[in-house]
Amino acid sequence: MSAPRPSQWLLAGLSAVALAAVAKEARAEEPDLIPSEEYLPEESDEADGYAPSDALRPIEVEVRGLKHPPSVSSLTRAEVRQLPGAFGDPFRAIEILPGVTPIVSGLPFFYVRGAPPGNVGYFLDGVRVPYLFHAAAGPSVVHPAIVERVDLYAGGYPARFGRYAGAVVVAEATEPRSDWHGEAVLRIVDAGALVEGGTEDGRFTALAGGRYSYTAGLFSLISPEITLDYRDYQARVAYDVTPRDRVSLFAFGAYDFLSQTTNEIETVLFGSEFYRVDGRYDARLPGGGKLRAAVTFGYDQTRVADGRNTRDVSVASRVELSQPLGDDLTLRAGLDVQQDLYSAAPRPYVDPDDPGNEAYDSLFPPRNDAAAGFWADVEWRMHPRVLVTPGVRADMFFSNGASAMSADPRLAVVVQAHERVRLLHALGMAHQTPSFIVPVPGLAVASLQGGLQRSLQASAGVEVDLPLSITATATAFDAVFLNMTDSIGVRPPGDDATQIPRSTGGSKGFELYLRRSLASRLGGFIAYTFSRTTRAIDGYKFPAAFDRSHVFHSAVSVDMTRGWRGGLRFSVYSGAPQLSAPAGLPDLYRPSAPERDPPFYRLDFRVEKKWRFGPTGWVSVVLEMVNATLNLETLNGNEVGPVTIPSFGVEGGF
């Protein structure tokens, strides 16, 4: 493995110096948490004798002392807007968080504390979604304005989440607002907009948004043999039946299509779509409790190869309850049921006895899958400085006559060791059905074939509030994975996607995270992960195919006054191992100390000029670029890329 050049370490040092420079600012600087121009305080909704409850009224407050559970990293939309290389998409910012290891720089698939992409679950406002980004390194599948916050639970996540033996990414949608507001963006490759408003009394609100790409026409001029198209939509209506009861309907979906034409024959490289409709009832209970009951309908479809489609028609329901039982005790419990009807189109013009066809049919057979789960945990403040959250989750899985059951204990502990120091501990077990290489709509391997995957994850860390709103977190983690279906991690012979050998594995490491809100006048972060991820098959133990020992991200964002704001982001990570079986050894043999690809680094930038109109209107011109250094990346000895994404656009809102 070649060593990084001096220029790489210079850039890393400059990033550290930029973050340290924050400490030189005067303490009289504006607060970190300030209302953004898109979310100005609204006028009172109290009209015609009706007043929405405080829990449902959309307000913006600063809460000091409120901390997230252990093993979770959060990003607000206000911060993500200023993150270079994220294009304002909260989901795209996930890759900079500690514990996240990219497969290929710029692409939205990653390992999290050793868990492969297929073992990472995605939820939008409690609704399971198959993937987060459009094809060809496109934007996220939902408009950024509807996402309030994104949380990454890297391991040992709360009991209300389950059926993923890795990490969980949770996006919380914004609260419905009755004041009319909106925003739009026009970029080189696509255009998007979102608008929301409601009645004067605040009881009824409606939201509509979406994005449409005109890349098909653009590529027809630049590269006629390539066709790329994507679009998405979001719609939401909510009605406050009483000050304590609300009913709402949330619908969203996305479509992607990528093909290549050679000799007048079009080959679909990737085609997928998914749609969700979620109806819910929310209630405030006496004593500060909350109840939610919801039903979700879904349709997923993906073109896999040779004109074949895989589909999933799903229906799910969930009930969630949170009820304080006293000043120091809160009970949270719920149950959820999911049913999926999978089908796969037959392969046309093929010999039914062809081994490849038989492998495909056995991997994706038509079937009826179901899962039912119950979970409960208790937030117990056993001491003014100690918060303990024990929990448990139980799931039943069914698939074409087969069944399996899992019981997953969870435990989280937060100790306020000092006014500025917190000790964070998390421990948990999780189970999952066999998973595909990466999350793809409508594509799931034969459920329960070979049993459930299982993981045991533990972490211990310390979080310190430093002067000038800087927070530092250091975390050690350890994860054990059993009966895994991590194809890309073990690289089957010939990298055949139809082969999913079972493996065991583990991941150990250390994370360091220093941050100051990117929404402040001068903000930034440093995120570093040192880890080792291994796999074992038939007694052969080796590094996972995407084991990167060192992953480093840093960024700085500066308000240059007069509407100008700029930022830089620097990322560097060490190379992945080159896995191959030497001649004369079994195909699944992998060297325990293989050679590694050279390290990779990239520099992203963002420049924005903003003009304000009236009390709430604004227009911005944004220039942004991922991998401005145009660096190539090496994977298993082969160069990839450069994966470079430029963006120029106009944004506005009111």
> Using an 8 Å Cβ cutoff, are 69 and 564 in contact?
no
* Cα–Cα distance measured from residue 545 to residue 437, given in angstroms and rounded to the nearest whole number: 13
> Using an 8 Å Cβ cutoff, are 178 and 195 in contact?
no
> Using an 8 Å Cβ cutoff, are 107 and 137 in contact?
yes
Answer whether CATH 2.60.40.420 is correct for domain 6-516+526-653: no
pLDDT at position 361: 67
How many CB atoms are closer than 10 A to CB 285? 13
pLDDT at position 494: 52
- CA pseudo-torsion sign 591, 597, 599, 600: negative
pLDDT at position 498: 54
* Cα–Cα distance measured from residue 448 to residue 370, given in angstroms and rounded to the nearest whole number: 11
Q: Could you read off the pLDDT of 408-448 as tens digits, one per residue?
A: 999 999 999 999 999 999 999 999 998 877 777 777 776 78
- Residue found by looking up tokens 């990117």 in the block: 518
Cite the DSSP H helix spans in 211-294: 215-222
Residues 6+ apart with CB under 8 A from 584: none
- CA pseudo-torsion sign 484, 490, 496, 499: negative
- Of 177, 182, 307, 323, nearest to 248 by C-alpha is 177
pLDDT at position 634: 83
Residues 6+ apart with CB under 8 A from 561: none
pLDDT at position 34: 33
Q: Please list the helix, strand and coil fractions of the chain in percent, rounded to the nearest 5, in that order.
A: 10, 55, 35
Task: Tell me which residues of the chain have a pLDDT lower than 70.
Answer: 1-69, 71, 136-137, 216-224, 266, 304-307, 347-364, 446, 492-500, 580-589
The pTM of this model reads 0.82
> Using an 8 Å Cβ cutoff, are 554 and 119 in contact?
no
pLDDT at position 58: 36
* Cα–Cα distance measured from residue 293 to residue 282, given in angstroms and rounded to the nearest whole number: 7
pLDDT at position 329: 95
How many CB atoms are closer than 10 A to CB 194? 22
- Of 74, 125, 407, 72, nearest to 292 by C-alpha is 125
Q: Are strands 168-173 and 121-124 parallel, antiparallel or unpaired?
A: parallel
Beta strands in 345-385 (DSSP E): 367-383
Burial (CB count <10 Å: 0-12, 13-18, 19+), residue 265: exposed
pLDDT at position 57: 36
Amino acid in position 408: D
Domain boundaries, the chain: 6-516+526-653
- H/E element, 237: strand 226-242
> Using an 8 Å Cβ cutoff, are 408 and 175 in contact?
no
